[in-house]
Amino acid sequence: MDHRAFLRQLLDCAIAAADPSAIVPQHLPPRPKGRLVVLGAGKASASMARAVEDYYAAPLEGLVVTRYGHAVSCKHIEIIEAAHPKPDAAGEAGAQRILDLARTLGPDDLGLCLISGGGSALLSLPAPGLTLEHKQAINAALLRSGAPISAINVVRKHLSAIKGGRLAAAAFPAPLLTLIISDAPGDDPAIVASGPTIGDPSTFAQAREILRKYGVNEPLAVLEHLDRAQNETPKPGDPVLAASGAKIIAAAQMSLEAAAFCAQEAGVAPLILGDAIEGEARDVGRGHGALALRYLKDGHRPCVLLSGGETSVTMRAPDNAGMRGGRNSEYLLALALALEGVAGVHALAADTDGIDGMSEHAGAVIAPDTLARARAAGFDPALVLDENNSGALFEALGDCVTTGPTLTNVNDFRAILIA
């Protein structure tokens, strides 16, 4: 067996299971009496919009915001590209236009909202009294802190004029249907892209406590905004959400099951560890290493351990400028260190959107000789892990996995093959 090719095949199966062109048409409603207006944001939103255009005949209109490099050509729906994970002015302007467009909807119209992971940073419309620079500073601090995405999005909702159900409130009383490709562990619609059309159970007080917990003490204007706690987000059951519905159409579990089927077809027994695994990437890697060693010792082979979710990375060095690597490469390096070259274990970890951290790679692979080759190339793998620079190691070894933008996003995919 070509272990690397097998693992890449599983990743490709997982990504294909979340392909918007195949999934979106299955969930589209009948055309309304009035206008059909498409709104959306996320790494998959442009490809979702294209699927909508391919399904309905004109007329239709709309606007979605996606990440730079993730746009696809549409005839009637405008596609705007903006920055992720650091919000920029293009995302702010796009979010304002989406909010304004939602307010034009009437009772005979239908707002079709296309939401996927990444939408929170892309819909960067600050609450009154705050600026884009305030949001950029908080976003950067929380991403460096190692806070889970669910906590980060609680803060984002309470600094926003469009998230946490506010987009649905703007469209009320017009009907609004949200189709979601979920990248959120647990698939809570209120977390994906900070739930712009979903009732928000969190509060200003919870957002303030998250900043305290992770040691984020500036900008002062943000802390004061949270302390004032004015204009709370719409809560589940709020009448302004009565005309809004939502449906998750793709998620990590579906992709893991598709990969499991591919493994079975190849004669390898799959075991899905979970689709919502969170925690520090290096800690999860070490834990999965111990699990793989146990399965190897017990004679469970050939088998593949599959998992999804979203780990986090706490940036430990004071200044990580120039450091390369995301949570998947960090997970893999910790996994390799836990395995320490044991024979018969290979692994792949990648982000299904095609981008791990700030690199151009989706992730990487490891083999029993990974650490030996790294040391021969002059790397100290443990030091590299401490410096959050795992991507540089995998690039030097030629062990990165590169897919390019996949135009979907069901978060991380991890596979450990015990061969």
Q: pLDDT (tens digit, 9 = 90+) per residue, 34-79? A: 999 999 999 999 999 999 999 999 899 999 999 999 999 999 999 9
* Angle, vertex CA 309, rays to CA 350 and CA 114, nearest 5: 90
Angle between helices 220-228 and 132-145 (to 10 degrees): 90
- Predicted confidence (pLDDT) at residue 241 exceeds the cutoff of 90: yes
351 DSSP β-pair partners: 412
CATH fold of 3-12+253-418 reads glycerate kinase, domain 1 (3.40.1480)
47: phi then psi, degrees, rounded to nearest 5: -70, -30
Section 192-220 average pLDDT: 94
Residue 323 has a pLDDT of 56
pLDDT digits (tens, 9 = 90+) for 293-334: 999 998 877 999 999 999 999 887 654 445 567 999 999 999
Homologous superfamily of domain range 20-250 = Glycerate kinase, MOFRL-like N-terminal domain (3.40.50.10180)
pLDDT in the model for residue 118:
93
Stretch (H or E) spanning 338 = helix 327-339
Categorize the per-residue pLDDT at 140 as very low, low, confident or very high, splitting at 50, 70 and 90. confident
Using one digit for the tens of pLDDT, what is the confidence trace for 90-110? 999 999 999 999 999 999 999
Measured in Å, how far apart are the chain's first and last C-alpha atoms?
Answer: 9
Split at pLDDT 50, 70, 90, the class of 254 is: very high
| Token output for 372 | 């030996």
Own/partner contacts of 226-231, CB < 8 Å, gap of 24 or more, are: 226/158, 226/159, 228/204, 229/203, 229/204, 229/205, 231/127, 231/128
Average pLDDT value over all residues in the chain = 94
| Lowest-confidence pick of 131-145, 257-271, 329-343 | 131-145
Q: Quote the pLDDT of residue 317.
A: 60
Per-residue pLDDT, 148: 87
Task: Give the angle subtended at the CA of 76 by the CAs of 72 and 77, to the nearest 5°.
Answer: 55
User: Which is nearest to 250 in space by CA: 118, 115, 355, 120?
Assistant: 115
Strands (E), 42-159: 61-67, 77-82, 110-116
Q: Is the pLDDT at 144 greater than 90, yes or no? A: no
Burial of 321 (0-12, 13-18, 19+ CB in 10 A): exposed
Phi, psi of 415 (to 5 degrees): -140, 125
Gap between the Cα atoms of 225 and 397, Å rounded: 47
- Domain residue ranges of the chain, discontinuous segments joined by +: 3-12+253-418, 20-250
Token pair of 366 as six digits: 């490891």
Q: So what's the pLDDT on residue 357?
A: 81
Query: Is the Cβ–Cβ distance between 330 and 385 less than 8 Å?
Result: yes
pLDDT of residue 316: 75
0.85 exceeded by the pTM? yes
